[in-house]
Amino acid sequence: MCRKSPDACSRSSVAISFCSMNSNTTADPGLKLGDSVLSSRLLVGTGKFSSIDAMLDAVRASRSQLVTVALRRFNREQDAGDDLYGPLSEIEGINLMPNTSGARTADEAVRAALLSRELSGSPFVKVEIHPNPHHLMPDSIETYEACKQLVKEGMTVLPYMPADPVLAKRLEDVGCAAVMPLGAAIGSGGGLQTRAMLEIIIRDANVPVIVDAGLRSPAEAAMAIEMGCDAVLVNSAIAVAEEPSLMAKAFADAVETGMLARRAGLMSRGEAAIPTSPLLSFLSGE
Catalytic residue among 4, 48, 126, 148: 126
Region 129-141: what's the mean pLDDT? 88
Catalytic: 126?
yes
Residue 96 lies in a domain: yes
Q: How confident is the model at residue 151 (pLDDT cuts 50, 70, 90)?
A: very high
pLDDT of 111 over the 80 cut: yes
Q: Which domain holds residue 118?
A: 6-265
What is the value of pTM for the model shown?
Answer: 0.84
Please give the share of the chain, as a percent, with pLDDT higher than 70: 84
Q: What percent of the chain has pLDDT over 90?
A: 65
Q: What are residue 46's DSSP bridge partners?
A: none
Round the CA-based radius of gyration of the chain to a whole number and report it. Answer: 20
216-225 pLDDT, tens digit per residue, is 999 999 999 9
In a domain, residue 284? The reply is: no
Residue 276 has pLDDT above 80, yes or no: no
User: Any idea what the CATH number is for the domain that residue 170 is in?
Assistant: 3.20.20.70
133 found inside a domain: yes
CA dihedral (126, 132, 136, 140) in degrees, to 10, reads: -50
Domain count, the chain: 1
Q: Mind listing the pLDDT tens digit for each residue in 21-39?
A: 344 445 778 999 999 999 9
Q: Is 192 a member of any domain?
A: yes
Q: Return the higher-pLDDT residue of 275 and 226.
A: 226
Model pLDDT, residue 275: 77
Closest CA relative to residue 41, chosen from 90, 74, 1, 88:
1
Whether 1 shows a pLDDT value over 60: the answer reads no
* 277 within some domain: no
Does some domain include residue 281? no
Say if 202 falls within a structural domain.
yes
Q: How does DSSP assign 9-53, residue by residue? A: HTT-HHHHHHHHHHHHHS----EEETTEEES--EEEE--S-SSHH
Domain presence at residue 282: no
pLDDT value for 279: 62
